[in-house]
Amino acid sequence: MFGFHACYVPMEYLGTPEEQGKTVEHRIAVPIAGTTVAIWNFSESDLVKVLFEFARRFLKDSLQRGDSFSEFTVKAPMISTGSNPGKCPFDPSRIPIPEGFVEEIEILKRMGFGAELIKK
């Protein structure tokens, strides 16, 4: 299992006095089966990049779905030959190194209202 530290902050708080307080931090734990590691046969640096891509997509998809996490460590789904048969779905040469990586994502938010009669 490999872990990646990630943080995110809503765009409206970037550069504001509230940015630090609105920043959420997590560790994304990415479990991978030993057989998958052996079959893919990546160097350590390429394996880290591939696991980072799984972690990045997991976090991005979760945030876009509106998921929230109550724990600091969030476990991504297990990577195995069952979930990813055959060769690795990602080319490590096209994956950035995790350290210092920043990505802006769009998250759709729903705003709802209720109505009530207010008597004066």
Do residues 23 and 8 lie in contact, with contact meaning Cβ atoms separated by under 8 Å?
A: yes
The predicted structure's pLDDT at residue 82: 92
Q: Is the pLDDT of residue 99 over 70?
A: yes
Do residues 10 and 57 lie in contact, with contact meaning Cβ atoms separated by under 8 Å?
A: no
Give per-residue pLDDT as tens, 12-35: 898 999 999 999 999 999 999 999
- What is the CB neighbour count within 10 angstroms for residue 32? 20
Q: State residue 73 phi and psi, 5-degree precision.
A: -90, 125
Give per-residue pLDDT as tens, 38-69: 999 999 999 999 999 999 999 999 988 888 88
What's the pTM? 0.85
